[in-house]
Chains A and B, each alone.
Chain A
């Protein structure tokens, strides 16, 4: 099983700032099969990024993903009020899909 470790656990920033979220895998993620999701309280997760760097349909370009192998990053260039939520990474390159434990992005 590929274990995904997200850091930091909580990130406190202000609107307009840049957010950088990390996801580290315990072994290499095949073909960069890494996705990022946003989840707000009481809502289902929403796909932001797949294939490590491809934005999903309708996702604003302030969201970007990068990385390969075992180290991946989600960057939000300028935080909007609606971006404060929990973010999960997911790997789907192995026969057991796994999620990271999440990063909570909170308003400073």
Chain B
């Protein structure tokens, strides 16, 4: 099983739609979770961190389910500008002073008019 798995998509949705992505992880010791966004031919950029209690940032909502070992990203009222690849990132706890983040392969979202 891969450490971090995502459905590559693409998810093809109309403007205004609500879309959700999941990301599963295999390391139960994982402690930090993030969603990054990567536009075509650009570098990944942090979209939002994922907190245990779930968190919202405008149209974006991130949730963590530790029992089932997955995180999710919900996008409401999709905009054309949301078209991108969404990468999930999982990190173990930094108890030893160093740790390695693991990126998923990404989920492609295409929002059309």
A and B: bona fide binding partners: no
- Seen from chain B, the residues whose Cβ lies within 8 Å of a Cβ on chain A are none
